């Protein structure tokens, strides 16, 4: 059950939140942050639902800001839910800012921030070029965007790199956590020196980020070839003793091969936005690996290497058959640690697998 306020102001919204909290016997002491979602009508419902899912893990105040620029008189309408079983734990305020008020969202949001807790701002769709210099972005310690939501993701990545500030992050990078963990786990075993790598992927922003990260961490050249996916569906590490290959043809399970022999399977699912946001909210310090990767990003190499000449995508994975029986050792992704992905090194002692 939500409370609706029409033609209101930030002070009235704050009073209504306090009143609703008092009536339900709730307190704000258990909330760990304020999450501000800045969205148009198209994205706001899904983004708010993802935040509500995350609130089960991170109790918080969610402020969904929906600018509605127009020539009408400035007006603020709000829907408020506090500790509702439908809307999840914490507090949710959806605010529509009409007229010229849409250009001054920070003046509405500032009085509603929880005191002595971090603020995170998330733009699920369109976002300003410089996140840290945006009036709302200046209120936050973390600022989240998703280049995959942009029609021209290469331009979005280039703009993000050029305006990068500590605390910025991109869900295109968050999507790589399971892949980075899988690579680190695979290289826990002894391997010959790595001489190069190849990524097979649909044209998505996560692929050039993975290429940049691998080149930076391994110090070897990395090819990025287009495929039919889904998403990244194969990464090959070329070593002096043969290839180490991780293939995920169905967006769910992946198989690790060494020298063409399947050695184990990994649970490597594609994740929903609600899971990506939950991961980002688990830690509120700057994402240094992402920032380092973005600084290394070559904007001239954001597209697949084999599409620069007009050729068609390769079809890696279409006829792939997953091994069964004793050759397939199922490995749970849960034990790999999303927040502490191991280091990847191009050379290590050679030993028996």
pLDDT, one tens digit per residue, over 33-67 is: 999 999 999 999 999 999 999 998 889 999 999 99
Tell me, what's the pLDDT at 100? 95
What residues pair up with 314 in beta bridges, in sequence order?
227
Distance separating alpha carbons of residues 96 and 77, to the nearest angstrom: 5
Distance CA 343, CA 214 (A): 11
Q: What is the pLDDT of residues 202-235, one digit of tens each?
A: 999 999 999 999 999 999 999 999 999 899 999 9
Q: What is the pTM of this model?
A: 0.86
pLDDT one-digit tens code per residue, 6-41 = 999 999 999 999 998 888 766 656 789 999 999 999
Residue-level pLDDT at 27:
61
Domain 177-336 top-level CATH class: alpha beta
**Cα–Cα distance for residue pair 265/256, rounded to 1 Å:** 6
pLDDT, residue 351, reads 35
Neighbours of 349 (CB within 10 A): 8
Token representation of residue 295 = 């600084």
Residue 159 confidence (pLDDT): 98
pLDDT tens-digit map of 59-107: 999 999 999 998 889 999 999 998 755 556 689 999 999 999 999 999 9
Beta strand ranges found along the chain (DSSP E) = 3-5, 33-38, 60-68, 75-82, 91-98, 119-122, 142-145, 168-170, 194-201, 222-226, 232-239, 242-247, 253-258, 261-267, 330-331
β-bridge mates for residue 194, sequence order? 239
Q: Tokens for 257?
A: 């091969």
Q: What is the pLDDT of residue 189?
A: 84
- Can 3-145 and 177-336 be said to share one CATH topology? no
Q: Which architecture characterizes domain 3-145 according to CATH?
A: 3-Layer(aba) Sandwich (3.40)
String of DSSP letters for 58-98 = S-EEEEEEEEE--SSPPEEEEEEEES-TTT-SSEEEEEEEE
Cα–Cα dist 18/80, whole Å: 11
Q: Taking 80 as the threshold, does the pLDDT of residue 331 lie above it?
A: no
Residue 328 has pLDDT above 90, yes or no: no
**pLDDT (0 to 100) of residue 84:** 59
CB 90 within 8 A of CB 59: yes
Q: Which residues, in sequence order, are CB contacts of 71 under 8 Å at separation 6+? A: 99
Q: Cα-Cα-Cα-Cα dihedral of 168, 89, 92, 164, to 10°? A: 0
Peptide bond into 230 cis (omega under 30): yes
Tokens in use for 337?
């640690």
Question: Which pLDDT score, from 0 to 100, does residue 125 have?
Answer: 94
Contact indicator for 245, 236 with CB cutoff of 8 Å:
yes
Domain ranges in the chain are 3-145, 177-336
pLDDT digits (tens, 9 = 90+) for 274-327: 999 999 999 899 999 999 999 999 999 999 998 754 444 444 434 333 333 333
CA dihedral 61, 66, 72, 76 (to 10 degrees): -10
């Amino acid at each position: 059950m939500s409370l609706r306020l029409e033609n209101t102001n930030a002070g009235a919204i704050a009073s209504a939140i306090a009143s609703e909290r008092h009536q339900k016997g709730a307190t704000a002491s258990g909330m760990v942050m304020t999450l501000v979602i800045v969205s148009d009508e198209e994205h706001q419902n899904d983004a708010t639902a993802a935040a509500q899912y995350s609130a089960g893990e991170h109790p918080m105040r969610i402020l969904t800001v929906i600018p509605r620029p127009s020539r009408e008189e400035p007006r603020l309408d709000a829907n408020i839910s506090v500790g509702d079983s439908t809307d999840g734990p914490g507090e949710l305020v959806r605010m529509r800012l009409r007229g010229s008020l849409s250009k001054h969202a920070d003046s509405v949001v500032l009085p509603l921030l929880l005191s002595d807790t971090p603020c995170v701002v998330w733009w699920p769709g369109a976002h300003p070029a410089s996140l840290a210099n945006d009036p709302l972005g200046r209120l936050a310690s973390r600022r989240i965007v998703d280049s995959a939501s942009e029609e021209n993701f290469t331009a979005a990545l280039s703009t993000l790199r050029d305006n990068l500030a500590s605390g910025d992050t991109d869900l295109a990078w968050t999507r790589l956590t399971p892949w980075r963990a899988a690579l680190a786990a695979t290289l826990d075993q002894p391997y010959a020196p790595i001489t190069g790598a190849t990524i097979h992927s649909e044209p998505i922003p996560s692929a050039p980020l993975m290429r940049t990260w691998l080149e930076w961490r391994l110090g070897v050249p990395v090819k990025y070839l287009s495929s039919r996916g889904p998403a990244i569906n194969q990464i090959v590490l070329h070593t002096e003793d043969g290839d180490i290959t991780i293939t995920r043809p169905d967006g769910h399970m992946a198989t690790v091969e060494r020298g063409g022999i399947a050695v184990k399977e990994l649970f490597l699912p594609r994740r929903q936005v609600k899971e990506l946001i939950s991961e980002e909210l688990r830690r509120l310090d700057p994402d240094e690996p992402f920032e380092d990767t973005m600084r290394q990003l070559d904007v001239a190499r954001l597209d697949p290497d084999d599409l620069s000449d007009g050729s068609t995508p390769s079809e890696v994975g279409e006829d792939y058959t997953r091994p069964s029986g004793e050759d397939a050792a199922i490995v749970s992704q849960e034990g790999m640690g999303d927040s502490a992905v191991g280091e990847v090194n191009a050379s290590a002692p050679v030993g028996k697998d």
